[in-house]
Amino acid sequence: MGVSAVIGFLGVLGAIFLMNSNTAVMEVGRNLTASLSALSALADASNGLQGLIFFISACCTSIAMKFLKNRCRGNGLPSLQQQTSPSEGPENVEQPIPRRRNQSSSATAAARLCKEALKTLYTTTGSFVQLIPWADDDKMHIMDIYTDLELENTDGKKEKVESYEDILHRKTKKGHPIKRIICKGQPGYGKSTLLDKIAYDWAVGSVQALLKYDLVIVLKMGALQQHSDLVDAIFDQLLDEDTPVNKSNLKSFINSNPDKLLILLDGFDEFLTTDLVETSFGSILKMLNRKVNRECCAVVTTRPSHFHKLVSRSLIERPFTHVTVLGFNEESVQKYVNKFYSENTDEAHELFNTIQSTDVLFELAKSPMLVLLMCLLWRDDSKLPDTLTRLYEKALRYIFRRKCKDWSDNEISQILIQLGKIALEGLLDPQQMLSFQEKAFEGTLLYEALKVGLLTKQRVLKVFDEHNTVQFIHKTLQEFCGAKYLQHLLEADYEKFQKILNEIDRKVTKNPNDFEYLLRFSCGDHPSCTGKILNIFRENVHYALNYYFECQANTLLFEDVVASVFCNSINFIRDMIRFSHSFFWLLKRVADDGSTSYLTSVQELSINDWSLQRYDDELRCGLCEMTKLRGIDLVNTSLTGSSMNVIARSFKHLGNLTRLTLFNNQALSGSLTSWAPHLQLLKNLKTLEIEDCSLDGRDVISLTTACGKMQKLDKCLATDHTRSMHMIRNEYNDTSLSLNRCSLALAGDDLAEMFESVGGRGDIVKVHLTGSGTSTAEVQLWAPKVKTLKQVRALSLSKFKLQGADIKHIAAAVGDMPTLATLTLNDNNSLGGCAEIWAPDLQKLRHVKKLELCKCSLTRQDIPHIVESLSTLPCLRTLDLSGNDLCGCTPSDWSRLNNLKRLLLPPHLSNDFSEIRQFMPNTTVR
């Protein structure tokens, strides 16, 4: 009898889950009390076994009642206690709405209620930014503190993104909107705040691109698992417990209107499930992989360490927009500090100057979260630490002093170590656990950590079970505490310390990024721990740089690590930018230490996509000791004229350098006059490339002047969108020089120095100079120096805007150049109509074999003067007058040029060619 009753009761419970009808849920709820009474009576009349059965049944009933209470809330139903009893009559019972008939209106109503609730949340409590993640009582409104982040589109060619609105408008090549967006960035770089800002802008209606969305949903992935449902997560994370929103109607709206949704998923790297199984996906992950609701727009943030896990066949496949959150640039830092200290501009100015004054702080300030820490710590005592570890140390002491004033430093350390044991166990877990159950914390540890604000507690509902999960308020804090525990083990239990380190080593092999911050914090001001870590991770040279820097040892330690950094070839690319400060810090330490044996082994140095503006002196010091260096490539490194002036002071020590490349450094514009002379000290340089550096005319002239004094230089290229300079030596040791579209409105003595310098090489055989069409500097000053080009066989001075009076100076110089065979004076329009002034000087061109006067606006009246002078030149064989309007010329006008082999005329004279040939039978006329 008792067994039958229990089986029947469990059958009732099973029915609850098989029924989707709200009415069924309510009906079962009404009958639970009666079931309990029947079981109770049965237990009273039975033996001890039946009593046990009763106990089990009672527990099941209690759990079911609790579940139904939550189920009713989620479906917008009254609780069991609020429902009408049968004695009150059926007219007072809320009738369920027929699903099919009223689905659209009910779904719309649920969406409207949800929209109102979300907007209220995002514009009230949700609009306040927690300044330090673990200081919940220190907040500012998002509009009072938010500063635009530096974003970069990393799909294909890297390009800056002006605002987050741009990433919502991206389309495929065929014009289809891209509705999956990944925002990748280092911890603390503002990814979460960016999503909060998007939500706030939607709530207040301030951004046009967001107006098309009925619902903008911000979810923390740290509270989700792979089977998590979207609507359940909305209720769990965003809506009040007593919300009137009907869950099933909201789900119906979402499924029917996915294009009206913008889903913002924050922190994929904190996702509770690491081993993804596609068959277990709930609606959130199915939405990401487009199995459901493919038309909704989703933005996901993640650390770089988890990017490749997110971009997979089971989750996000192309097309997707990939944006890197670069954090703050210098302008953003200043703007942020000014906002924080809006009522105290003096403090803001002093803090910003302090951040700028040291490379360490400036590098850390790329992280908005660390700028927040700096602002708060500066507010405390107007001082800032100089490493990541020290910044966190000081921030935590600051928090503890505010919350627990009577605690000693030792008590604080013990709390951090105890928390660190749990933190480290979570980080080492195969799932990399970031959420913990309350029972993991012994004694008063949980209470104390919650009181201080290092931990946060969150309610989690799972069918029959409701419990609290505990998380560190930010993952970097979990890593910091884990590091404190690891340092403690080095002294307290070395065997366990080594075992953990070996375990980390095995995991790091798969993904070094997962443990970067844990290991950085572990090395912080702890040379012993740093030595053990570097001994294991020496092969990860770039990560070792940050570990070494955090250690801040007073002497140069770990020589094998130093030797692996400064090896034969050093190559840094954009993805390694977070190691830049540590590299230059160590470079300066090694150079100052006098341990030149490390640096003299370096033969190649390549730095791509790093900003060198703040490290010019460190680089100069290092280069001075790299005496065997053969090649330097500085590509897109934000070099300025002032930084190059500093770096160039090392050139005198680089006697073995054969290649120097400076590419895409736009800020070098207008600066070569000051540092180009240092290039002459590179005695063995063979290749020099300065491309896409926005050089102006004076830069090109200065560079050409320097190259003229570099006898071993085989190739020099300086190009950008408007002008170029090429100097190339061929296999026959003949060198050609070409300057294109160079502004020549310079001092005449600058051009004179250039010609004299180039002439001094002795191997220049072709010189092609093209001006920009502006007026040329004093020709009488530089023209005489042209004759120093003793070996030149071809000279072109096109688009120089030469005047008639200038020809006499040029002709006088060319007349003294016996090797010159070709003279080109094309595109000098001012020569037209005044040949009677300058044509007589052409008689000095006694060695010239080919003369080009194309597009010089010559007229019929100019031809007799030109022909008369050229008829006296014994060596002239080719004359090119194409591109001039010579209407009116007669065939006989050319008869005196019977020594020519070729005469090139404008096409409109083609009808006269046969007659001209009668006068000039030995000349080819075209």
Spatial separation of the C-alpha atoms in residues 517 and 543, rounded to whole Å: 10
Per-residue tokens: 187: 């911890």
Q: Which amino acid is at 923?
A: T
pLDDT value, residue 64: 44
Residue 595 is predicted with a pLDDT of 64
Q: What pLDDT sits at residue 654?
A: 96
Residue type, position 232, single letter: D
Strand, coil or helix: 682:
coil
Q: For residue 319, is the peptide bond before it cis, meaning its omega torsion is within 30 degrees of 0?
A: yes
- Give residue 379's pLDDT: 84
Looking at residue 339, its pLDDT comes to 87
Q: Exposed, middle or buried, 884 (CB in 10 Å: 0-12/13-18/19+)?
A: buried
* Lookup: tokens for 229: 């449902």
Q: Enter the DSSP assignment of 630.
A: -
The alpha-helical segments, DSSP class H, found in 257-387 are: 283-288, 307-310, 330-340, 345-357, 359-364, 368-381
Residue 99 structure tokens: 């699903």
DSSP 539: T
CA–CA distances in Å: residue 752 to residues 469, 614, 705, 723, 788: 79, 37, 10, 20, 10
pLDDT digits (tens, 9 = 90+) for 668-723: 999 999 999 999 999 999 999 999 999 888 888 899 999 999 999 999 999 877 78
Scan for tokens 């004759």, then name that residue: 787
Give the residue ranges of the chain where pLDDT is below 70.
Answer: 1-103, 126-149, 154-158, 272-274, 458-467, 510, 595-596, 742-747, 772-777
In this predicted model, what pLDDT tens digit does every residue of 740-788 receive, in sequence order? Answer: 876 555 567 888 899 999 998 889 999 998 876 555 567 888 899 999 9
Please, what's the largest Cα pairwise distance for the chain? 141
Q: Are strands 151-153 and 261-266 parallel, antiparallel or unpaired?
A: unpaired
For residue 211, the tally of other CB atoms under 10 A from its CB is: 10
Q: 242: exposed, middle or buried (C-beta count within 10 Å: 0-12, 13-18, 19+)?
A: exposed
| Contact partners, residue 736, CB within 8 Å, separation at least 6 | 726, 727, 728, 730, 764, 765, 766, 767, 768
This prediction has a pTM of: 0.67
